[in-house]
Amino acid sequence: MKTSEPTDDAELVRRTLEGEESAFGALVRRYQRAAYAVAVSVTGRHEDAEDAAQEAFLVALKRLEECRAPDRFGGWLMTIVRNRARNLVRRENLRDMDPMPLGARSTTRPPDRSTEDAEMRALLERALAELPEVQREIVLLHDMEGWKHREIAERLGLPAGTVRSHLHFARKALRKVLEPMRDPSAGRKAR
Amino acid sequence: MTRSWPEGIGSGSPAEEPEIDAHVVEALRALDPCSADEGYWSRFRAAVLRRAAPELARRRLAARVTVAEVLASWARTVVPTALLAAAIAGVVLMKAREAPAPRPVDVEEMLVAGMEGSSIPATLGGEGTDAGAVTFAMGTF
């Protein structure tokens, strides 16, 4: 329930420290999408992103005493997500001995509702794979999760101007790739 | 179905970057797992909470322990230890009481203790001496 959910991360962290399940559930609800966005920006794969995001929440719970600024739980959690995702990619690369570029990996996701969605996803994954990790993360947090520049800057520890700049270049690259989709006839001609 | 995005989306400098780019936002929606599976985030949260249950239970238990409970848990160790220490002290005291108390010794006794021969004679007459005579050492004058 939204009415009973406090808006303050610090309060939720304090109650989670005492083992209150609803408080931890509220933190998960609040940050699950962002955690997934950060994880997918690193792994490029749905399953890995899901694993990394879930594991990050569990690691955060176990190490909650180490969260020095509970009011900035989100930023602290994103650092854990990023590290878990990077470890996962490293482990997989070692296991496969075949480091594949992001977006070039096979992705098994929930089935797409339409061919158009599948095409769009494939295009996006390829476009995102071309971006530096920080740009991927920023564009996903801003344009997929709806975070504000200020929030991203605060949680990623970057100046707001840098966030704006990364967002600009990330969007520019995505627009270029998505351009054929804006005009389906042009897209068909191109194919 | 064709997608349509608003025209005139800026691609100039970062400062001119619009807050919302509906074109990109719409496109990125395809990456949201929820777009193909509406119950995805509920299941995600349920999975996290299921895996977090033991840790949350541990935290609840730790938080429930009061000062009185901590003292009581100490008492479980401290009381038997104190009882054992008291018993040992009692036994030691009893043994000490059974040993004879040292007899008070005067200075003269201490000086002649262990020396052969008689002690220093009395300077004044005692039994077996002439009445009224002064006795000094072993001679009679």
Please indicate, yes or no, whether residues A73 and A7 belong to a single structural domain of this protein.
yes
From chain B, pick out residues whose CB is under 8 angstroms from the CB of A25.
45, 49
pLDDT tens figures, A5-22: 657 999 999 999 999 999
From chain A, pick out residues whose CB is under 8 angstroms from the CB of B37.
110
Residue A10, in any domain of the structure: yes
pLDDT tens figures, A71-100: 999 999 999 999 999 999 888 877 765 544
Q: Least CB-CB distance to A113: which of B9, B36, B56?
A: B36
Nearest-angstrom CA–CA distance, B27 and B9:
14
List the end-to-end C-alpha distance of chain B, in Å, as a whole number: 155
| CATH code for position A172 | 1.10.10.10
Residue A191, in any domain of the structure: yes
Residue A107, in any domain of the structure: no
Please indicate, yes or no, whether residues A179 and A123 belong to a single structural domain of this protein.
yes
Please indicate, yes or no, whether residues A57 and A127 belong to a single structural domain of this protein.
no
Q: Least CB-CB distance to B32: which of A144, A164, A172?
A: A144
Please indicate, yes or no, whether residues A94 and A5 belong to a single structural domain of this protein.
yes
Give residue ranges of B with CB < 8 Å to any A CB: 1-5, 9, 11, 13-15, 17, 21, 23-25, 27-33, 35-37, 40-41, 44-45, 47-49, 51-53, 55-63
Residue A145, in any domain of the structure: yes
Q: What is the ipTM of this complex?
A: 0.78
Find the helix or strand (DSSP H, E) in which B139 lies. Answer: strand B139-140
Q: How many CB pairs under 8 A join A and B?
A: 130
Please indicate, yes or no, whether residues A179 and A127 belong to a single structural domain of this protein.
yes
The domain total for chain A is 2
CA B13: distance to chain centroid?
65
Could you tell me which of A147, A144, A137 has the C-alpha nearest to residue A170? A137
Please indicate, yes or no, whether residues A42 and A6 belong to a single structural domain of this protein.
yes
What is the pLDDT tens value at each position of chain B, 141 positions in all? 344 434 334 456 766 667 777 878 888 888 888 887 889 999 999 999 999 999 999 999 988 776 677 677 777 788 888 889 999 999 998 888 777 666 777 777 777 776 666 555 555 555 555 555 555 555 555
Residue A21, in any domain of the structure: yes
User: Looking at per-residue confidence, does A55 or A180 come out higher?
Assistant: A55
| CATH code for position A1 | 1.10.1740.10
Could you tell me which of A86, A108, A90, A107 has the C-alpha nearest to residue A99? A90
Taking residue A168's Cβ as centre, other Cβ atoms within 10 Å add up to: 23
Residue ending a domain, among A70, A102, A134, is A102
Work out the minimum CA distance from A60 to partner chain B, whole angstroms: 10
Q: Least CB-CB distance to A19: which of B41, B48, B56?
A: B56
Please indicate, yes or no, whether residues A85 and A121 belong to a single structural domain of this protein.
no
Range of the domain at A143: 112-191
Please indicate, yes or no, whether residues A66 and A138 belong to a single structural domain of this protein.
no
Please indicate, yes or no, whether residues A16 and A82 belong to a single structural domain of this protein.
yes
Please indicate, yes or no, whether residues A64 and A141 belong to a single structural domain of this protein.
no
Residue A6, in any domain of the structure: yes
Please indicate, yes or no, whether residues A96 and A117 belong to a single structural domain of this protein.
no
| Angle (CA) A6 B43 A10, round 5° | 20
Q: Between chains, do B28 and A114 touch, taking CB under 8 Å as contact? A: no
Please indicate, yes or no, whether residues A52 and A91 belong to a single structural domain of this protein.
yes
